[in-house]
């Protein structure tokens, strides 16, 4: 398996623009997580899904952020409108409890999207 | 109060040294515990899970003290390749919701 795939790897945009980050989890994983990492705040959980259903979005900073998971192999995190304080690395991670003999609580991270909002 | 607290370091140690990191967590109902490793400009990767009985993986030993709510990681015979940031992670909400510490940076020098 190719692992968790994220796109784009780098995004530079101007304040006020819409930004869409994309994630493809590992095939067969039923949990998907979106994190944000900054120097000041470290790694923060934004939202997570189970079987494509959002379970906990308490970490989403404000209404400008939204996340969707239309199917088991794709999720998006959207910021509209973007602001300079949204600049961070955004990670997507996936995990599974359904695979026999598997350490299901391990989360596998994608390479991240480095977002810069000017 | 943060869910997970770690000393940010950096810890600068020579090759072959033994180094130990600790972290504390605030929620006594936490259910799972891990150490993740993150290299510069890379994603975090699981280093090892931490069990109440303590566990060892080669040069790495992890311990959990539930009564005092702290987790430790011991690295023996440090290698240059151990240089990274080590993230203490605590799981809640039926093991799904992870809280990450801010990380402890380790620099192993020749």
pLDDT in tens, A44-57: 999 999 999 999 99
Length of chain A: 118
Q: Which residues of B touch A95 (CB under 8 A)?
A: 96
The C-alpha atoms of residue A82 and residue A79 are separated, in whole angstroms, by 6
The C-alpha atoms of residue B73 and residue B55 are separated, in whole angstroms, by 10
Q: Is A16 exposed, middle or buried (0-12, 13-18, 19+ CB in 10 A)?
A: exposed
The C-alpha atoms of residue B36 and residue A20 are separated, in whole angstroms, by 27
Closest alpha carbon within chain A to B2: A41
**What is the reported pLDDT for B95?**
63
Q: Contact A49/A96 with Cβ under 8 angstroms?
A: no
Specify the higher pLDDT residue, B32 or B108: B108
Radius of gyration of chain A (CA): 14
Q: Measured between alpha carbons, how far is residue A109 from residues A4, A22, B85 in Å?
A: 6, 13, 15
Which residues fall within 8 angstroms of residue A22, CB to CB, at 6 or more apart?
A6, A7, A8, A74, A75, A76
User: Quick one: what percent of chain A has pLDDT higher than 90?
Assistant: 79
Query: Which structure tokens are listed for A43?
Result: 């790694």
- Angle at the Cα of B53 (from B51 to B57), degrees rounded to 5? 65
Exposure letters B13-40 (e unless 16+ CB within 10 A, then b): beeeeebebbbbbeeeebebbbbbbbee
Query: Which structure tokens are listed for A37?
Result: 């990492």
Q: Which residues of B touch A110 (CB under 8 A)?
A: 43
**What is the reported pLDDT for B89?**
93
Residue of B17, B107, B20, B4 lying closest to B72 (CA atoms): B20
**What is the reported pLDDT for B96?**
73
- pLDDT of A34 > 60? The answer is yes
- Chain B: which residues have CB within 8 Å of chain A? 32, 34, 42-46, 49, 87, 91, 93, 95-103
End-to-end CA, chain B:
38
- pLDDT of A102 > 50? The answer is no
The C-alpha atoms of residue A48 and residue A31 are separated, in whole angstroms, by 7
Q: How far is A45 from chain B (nearest CA, A)?
A: 7
Task: Map tokens 């400009």 to a residue.
Answer: B41
């Amino acid at each position: 398996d190719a692992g968790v795939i994220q796109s784009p790897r780098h995004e530079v945009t101007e304040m006020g623009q819409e930004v869409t980050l994309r994630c493809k989890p590992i095939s067969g994983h039923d949990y998907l997580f979106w994190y944000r990492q900054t120097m000041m705040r470290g790694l923060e959980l934004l939202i997570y899904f189970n079987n494509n259903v959002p379970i906990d979005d308490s970490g989403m900073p404000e209404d400008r952020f939204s996340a969707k998971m239309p199917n088991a192999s794709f999720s998006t995190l959207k910021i509209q409108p973007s602001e300079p304080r949204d600049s961070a690395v955004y990670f997507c991670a996936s995990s599974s409890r359904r695979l026999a003999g598997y350490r299901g609580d391990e989360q596998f991270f994608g390479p991240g999207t480095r977002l810069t909002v000017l | 109060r943060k869910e997970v607290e770690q000393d940010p370091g950096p810890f600068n140690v020579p090759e072959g040294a033994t180094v130990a990191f600790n972290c504390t967590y605030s929620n006594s109902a936490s259910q799972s515990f891990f150490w993740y490793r993150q290299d510069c400009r890379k994603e975090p990767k699981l280093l090892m899970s931490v069990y109440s009985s303590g566990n060892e993986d080669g040069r790495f030993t992890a311990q959990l003290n539930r009564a005092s709510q702290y987790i430790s990681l011991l690295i023996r015979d440090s290698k240059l390749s151990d240089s990274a940031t080590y993230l203490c992670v605590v799981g809640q909400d039926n093991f799904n919701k992870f809280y990450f510490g801010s990380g402890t940076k380790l620099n192993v020098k020749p």
